[in-house]
Amino acid sequence: MGAADAARSTTNEDNVLPHSRSPISRPLSQRALSALFRPDSVAVIGASPTSDVRREPLEGYNRIGYSGKVAAVNPKYDEVAGYPCYPSLKNLPFVPDAVLILRNRDATVAALEEAADAGVRAAVIPEIGFAEAGAEGAAAQARIVDIARSSGMAVLGPNSGGVTNWVDRVHLSIDPIPVLRPGGVALISQGGGTRLALQGSGRGVRWSHAITCGNEAVTGSADFLRYFVDDPKVRVICGFIEAIRDPESFFFECDRARAAGKPVILLKPGRTEASRELATAHTGALTAPYRFYRELFKRHGVIQVDTFEEMLASAAVAQAGRSPGSGRLGVACPSGGLVQMYADGLTNCAAVHYADFQSHTVDTLGSLLPDNGVVRNPLDFWGIDDIEHGSRKIFQTIASDPNVDIFAALYDPTHHGATGAVYELWGACAVEVAAATDKLVTLITPVDGSLSPEKVEDFLEKNVVVLGQREVFRALDRAVTWSQPLPPMADDSPIDNLSMASRLRASGGLPFSGKPALDFLAAAGIPVVESRFVTNVDAAVNAANEVGYPVVAKIGDTDVLHRTELSGVIVNLRDAQELSSAAARLFAAGSLVLIIQPYVRDGIEMILGLETDDVLGSFIVVGQGGIWTELMDDAALRPGGLRVGEPEQMLSELRVQKLLRGFRGAPHLDIEALVGAVRQLDAIARGLGEQIRSIDINPLIVRQRGVVAVDALIVPAGLREELN
């Protein structure tokens, strides 16, 4: 562990933890974060009895049961909502740990400066019109950052709805205060509406904290993650994240959360360009392509969801605190149609599967079913004679089978009368099972959300999770996947970083292809096709005689980036006459250098690439290459610094992998050599990623023995705008 890592692992409140590479962020002490989440005293600046927005935060302190000191600040009043009101912070009889500032933009900045001078350690700023609103707003936000930096203050916002801590009964927010039973699930939201929707869902998730990040001018999502990882009362962390401003710290905290046994469940919008633009307008932060975030989430063990329903379902499973084991399901459902849907429900679930019942379980279940009943999993037990005794025995038998990790049963709350009574019986049987085992017990409603919040809470109190049929299997699958250990980082393949960095500098910072690009790859240990570089027709014929016909002739000028689009590649030239004619045409078109290569006819064309994002780092891509790259859209992506087994996983995700493995009698190609090329490109990403914008090896031909790079384009860092 390095010095920086050692510093970051400490939780001593007097130590300052390294934070980020963001130009507007600064290290924050645990003491400042504690003042934000657990202040012993608060002041509301700008409180007013004539405004609901400026009065209700004070009224909320009684409602939530806050036990600390409270004061209002406004020179117009002596009292607001029953609390004493003072002309300014310096007139208070105490220095508040935290302030909620309810002023316009300019007055907010002045109030924050006053708070810093008074020694306040945390502030919440709901006001809008800062970095998201043009140059003047950006300047005002920069002033907030300066004040916070100089004072060490934790500042939430601007443009933030605030924070609520139900565990310690703290409310620094302009949002309505739902008085909820405190739980162990913390919520980080980069949107106020999303926070309100989630905390008011009634789906049985027991929130410990909810925070609306706002513009994250000073204190950001990585800081909140750090706080929740270190808070022993938080067991699960959920997040609605539009943009990650400090990815290095953010993903470091995700790793810490995983090591602490705390699932991080994130919903990241932005799969379309329109959504990304809206995120920038909303938060004032640029967002990277969604596919990069998706792969980084996988790398760091984050549970990814696409909807609020998926987040709530995964949180409900995680907060239960019961292990999903290896994902072996045992399910009881007295409906043939629903049993079929349950079977279909596992179609896209790789980590969960239906358990094979032990022989004793099969015998016991068989004795309870009607004569035409068949013992299988999921079990359709419709038609049993003694429904009360039989249901109880069936539930207990399945749940107690050693091959079963998770027990689930049908529960439909929409029925009344005798049918409704039967479903209540099955609910009671599930409760009995939960009391008798430490396995995860789930009731499945056919229609999501059909159970009242009160009933959901009642089952939750008895260790039974209620989930809708649409979400249950994916939620369980995500829980099992998260519980499995991540593979270790793969060993770094040795390359000469100094020599290769020198090759990059020799390009003068310009994109290059041709001989320099192929030499660069060869220096990294990636096999390249034998090539000759010539400047006239006679030299081209001599080169072809050396490498052997048939050959390929292509434009070799290093500043020509895409030869195929310029008709600059002529293949399968079988003799000197064909080559001479082709070479003459290419020279006549303006080429100064030609590349003569053997025409590689066997094998499959692949693309192997590296792409570096300014914010998120380097990524490795492998996919079907040649002219099929864009047409087939068949590619796999991973962050640089591959884990053990990741190159093989990437290939298994591709449709073209069937051809690589020998489809319909075709020869099996050298997948091991392809994996080796992926690893060598990863070595470039690890050692030189920050110096390279992109590497495009297309095609890389995979043969029965070995691989060869036929063409490549390398773009040094710092050229994205110029290329666009």
Residues 621-672: pLDDT tens digits? Answer: 999 987 666 666 789 999 999 999 999 999 999 999 999 998 887 889 999 9
For 253, the token pair is 């905290």
Instruction: Note whether 127 and 101 are within 8 A (CB).
Output: yes
What are the distances in angstroms from CA 124 to CA 32, 82, 155, 239?
12, 22, 6, 19
Q: Please, how many CA atoms are within 13 Å of residue 54, restricted to the half-sphere of its CB? A: 19
Closest CA to 415 of 335, 313, 475, 470: 335
DSSP symbol at 435: H
Q: How confident is the model at residue 448 (pLDDT cuts 50, 70, 90)?
A: confident
Which fold would CATH assign to domain 323-483?
Answer: Rossmann fold (3.40.50)
State how far the Cα of 663 lies from the Cα of 237, in Å rounded to an integer. Answer: 45
How confident is the model over 610-616, as a mean pLDDT?
91
Residues 6+ apart with CB under 8 A from 575: 549
Strands 569-573 and 154-156: unpaired
Q: What stretches of 168-305 show up as alpha helix (H) in DSSP?
A: 192-199, 221-230, 247-259, 273-283, 290-299
User: Is residue 250 within 8 Å of residue 261, measured between CB atoms?
Assistant: no
Residues 171-178, mean pLDDT to the nearest whole number: 88
Helix H or strand E segment including 238: strand 236-240
The answer to whether the CB of 554 falls within 8 A of the CB of 711 is yes
In degrees rounded to 5, what are phi and psi of residue 106?
A: -65, -40
* pLDDT given at position 107: 97
Q: Is the pLDDT of residue 6 over 70?
A: no
Q: How far apart are CA 577 and CA 665, in angstroms?
A: 37
- Cβ proximity of 506 and 483 under 8 Å: no
Q: Does domain 530-598 have CATH number 3.30.565.10?
A: no
Task: List the helix and strand counts (H, then E) for the chain.
Answer: 26, 31
Dihedral sign computed on CA atoms, order 534, 537, 542, 547? positive
Q: In the structure, what pLDDT confidence band is assigned to residue 27 with cuts at 50, 70 and 90?
A: low
Q: Which letter, b or e, does each residue of 197-207 get, where b requires 16 or more Cβ atoms within 10 Å of its Cβ?
A: ebbebebbbbb
Q: What is the overall mean pLDDT for the chain?
A: 90
What is the domain partition of the chain in residue ranges? 3-318, 323-483, 530-598, 604-723
pLDDT digits (tens, 9 = 90+) for 303-343: 999 999 999 999 999 999 999 999 999 999 999 999 999 99
Q: What percent of the chain has pLDDT over 90?
A: 80
Residues 97-118, mean pLDDT to the nearest whole number: 97
475 confidence band (pLDDT: 50, 70, 90):
very high
Q: How confident is the model at residue 278 (pLDDT cuts 50, 70, 90)?
A: low
pLDDT tens-place string over residues 480-498: 999 999 999 999 888 999 9
Q: What is the model's pLDDT at position 721?
A: 43
Give the span between the Cα atoms of 422 and 675, in whole angstroms. 57
Residue 70's pLDDT is what?
A: 98
The residue behind tokens 């998706």 is: 294
Q: Any idea which residue has 């989930």 for tokens?
A: 467
pLDDT-based confidence at residue 275 (cuts at 50, 70, 90): low
What's the pLDDT at 290? 86
Helices 417-436 and 453-461 meet at what angle, rounded to 10? 30
- Distance in angstroms (rounded) separating the CA atoms of residues 311 and 178: 20
Neighbours of 601 (CB within 10 A): 10
Give how far the C-alpha of residue 469 lies from the chain's centroid of Cα atoms, to the nearest Å: 24
* CB-CB contact of 143 with 109 (8 Å): yes
Cβ within 8 Å of residue 80, ≥6 positions away = 44, 47, 48, 49, 54, 55, 58, 72, 74
Find how far residue 87's CA is from the centre of its chain: 46
- Fold entry, domain 3-318: Rossmann fold (3.40.50)
Is 203's pLDDT higher than 70? yes
Q: Do residues 46 and 73 lie in contact, with contact meaning Cβ atoms separated by under 8 Å?
A: yes
Task: For residues 366 and 376, give the distance between their C-alpha atoms in angstroms, rounded to a whole number.
Answer: 10
State the DSSP code for 403.
T
Q: What is the mean pLDDT of residues 280-299?
A: 74
- 604-723: CATH homologous superfamily? ATP-grasp fold, B domain (3.30.470.20)
Domain pair 323-483 / 530-598, same fold: no
367-370 long-range contacts, Cβ below 8 Å, gap at least 24?
A: 368/393, 368/394, 368/397
Produce one character per residue of 221-251: b if its CB has 16 or more CB atoms within 10 Å, e if not. bbbbbbbbbbbeebbbbbbbbbbbbbbbbbb
Question: Does the pTM exceed 0.75?
Answer: yes
